[in-house]
Amino acid sequence: MRVMEARPTGLVLIAIQLLVLHGCGGGGSTGPGPEPNPQTVATATVGALRDQDNKGDGRDLQAVILRPGNPAGIQEMRAIVVSSASGLNLAGAVAAPVTSYVIVPAGNGTVTVGFQATTSDASGQPIVPGGSYVVYVLSVAVNGSTSSLSAPSVSVTLTVTDLVRTLTSMISAGTGGLDVDAAGNIYLADFGASLGGTPGTRVLRITPAGEASTFATGLLGASGNVFDSQGVLVQSSIAGGRVDRISPDGTVSPFATGLRQPVGIAVVPGDTLFVVNCGDRSIDRITPDGTRSAFVSDPLLNCPNGITHASDGNFYVANFNDGQVLRVTRAGAVTIHATLPGGNNGHILFGNGVLYVAARGGNRIYQVGLNGTTRVLAGTGVRGLDDGAALDATLSLTNDIALSPDGRILYFNDVGQTTQSTQVISPTALRMIILDASR
């Protein structure tokens, strides 16, 4: 989780005014030794505050502080984390437990300080997700006595973001397509137990609480799927060379045939479908009445696995047989948009203004901009099933991804074991990333 405000950096900008008062009556210089210069006034600014490990418990809070220099008589400054619900006086600042503050060296310029050991605030209460906190700065004079305490910073609230969690695991199904309905239920296509093995025949419905049940049967290698504007799930069968429509009650109706190993499906306004064919490097168009026609064929379509339609009017395709993400215009021009490590992509999805891509062979999920910029969203690159902060979590041959209706949860399906061949794709673990959708 992340201390969050505005994107793109996730940093929360806060300013702290630090008035250092010295001498009698100026703010508490009580110890023996030389008196600091009573005219010394310093102003410090906290340029940013963030929780780097995204867990929101304070163990990796980091503050960027703009120091005003090294005023005469000042030995150090202390940045102290305090609950917004309680204030802090001078005595409380001096007595604050060591886990609640970090030492800020005196000196000129900018310094970045981390609260690595901070699990509690200045009152000794745990720092928790959803809690609201402020920061004070306390100056310490050269003789060990304390001078005055700054005003508190603006309040920030720790929000759960960029955290990988497993919703349910050991589902007896192969990692096929994923999509989410308007109520938040997740639909998982059963591709089959292994690549090239016996085709799966089902689509499972999984509630947001992780309860799985069979939604529909009668498919043949259930692969890509998408909901149309009527709430009908459109499902491809890679081994059957066809696309079916599945009504909300689970009834399967044939829709289009004659495709060549169809996988991913994109829908555009008006419910025209565009389906990628892994078998012959092509994309077909299917109109709402079920009429199929060729849209584009191109050598760059190297077993296209996923397709999505973005706000710029273009289609974006992820290849299974290499790491390419392709842009396909509505006129059918195909170009390379981005290249992801791993040499084997799963599906692709446009949402929250960006592309999400499952780098299956790289055991990562990437966020790709429409301008081609890429960044790792989740995964270390090592195959595994460890939950946690998104960049520390491990993924296992992720195939498809789907967004919750509010765009704040990205669901993805992993192979639920990590000891067998990469051709084995069952059981499935359904996992999710809690997103900061403001990015």
Residue pLDDT, tens place only, 228-255: 999 999 999 999 999 999 999 999 999 9
Task: Give CA 235 to chain center in angstroms.
Answer: 27
pLDDT, the chain, mean: 85
pLDDT at 412: 98
- Mean pLDDT check: name the lowest of 80-94, 123-137, 244-258: 123-137
- Mean pLDDT check: name the lowest of 16-30, 150-164, 371-385, 397-411: 16-30
pLDDT at 367: 97
> CA-to-CA distance for 327 and 333, rounded, in angstroms?
8
CB 270: neighbour CB atoms within 10 A? Answer: 9
Q: Both ends of the chain: CA-CA distance in Å? A: 14
Mean pLDDT for the stretch of residues 342-360: 97
Percent of the chain past pLDDT 70, that is, above it, reads: 84
Cβ pair 303, 278 in contact under 8 A: yes
pLDDT at 323: 98
Grade residue 126 by pLDDT with cuts at 50, 70 and 90.
confident
pLDDT at 61: 75
Q: At residue 270, does pLDDT exceed 60?
A: yes
Domain ranges of the chain: 2-159, 163-434
pLDDT at 422: 94
**Neighbouring residues of 282: CB distance < 8 A, sequence distance ≥ 6:** 260, 276, 294, 295, 296, 297, 298, 301
> CA-to-CA distance for 80 and 333, rounded, in angstroms?
57
Mean pLDDT for the stretch of residues 69-89: 81
pLDDT at 150: 78
Q: At residue 404, does pLDDT exceed 80?
A: yes
Task: Give CA 55 to chain center in angstroms.
Answer: 13
Mean pLDDT for the stretch of residues 272-300: 98
- Mean pLDDT check: name the lowest of 23-27, 237-241, 312-316, 365-369: 23-27
Q: At residue 37, does pLDDT exceed 60?
A: no
DSSP per residue over 166-218, as a string? Answer: EEEEEESS-EEEEEE-TTS-EEEEE-BSBTTSSBP-EEEEE-TT--EEEEEE-
Task: Write the class of the CATH domain 2-159.
Answer: mainly beta
Structure tokens at 363: 């055991």
Q: What is the CATH number of domain 163-434?
A: 2.120.10.30
Q: At residue 313, does pLDDT exceed 80?
A: yes
With tokens 């829908």, the residue in question is: 267
> CA-to-CA distance for 56 and 52, rounded, in angstroms?
9
Q: At residue 73, does pLDDT exceed 90?
A: no
pLDDT greater at residue 159 or residue 304: 304
**Neighbouring residues of 417: CB distance < 8 A, sequence distance ≥ 6:** 396, 424, 427
User: Do the first three CATH levels of 2-159 and 163-434 match, i.e. the same topology?
Assistant: no
Q: At residue 380, does pLDDT exceed 80?
A: yes
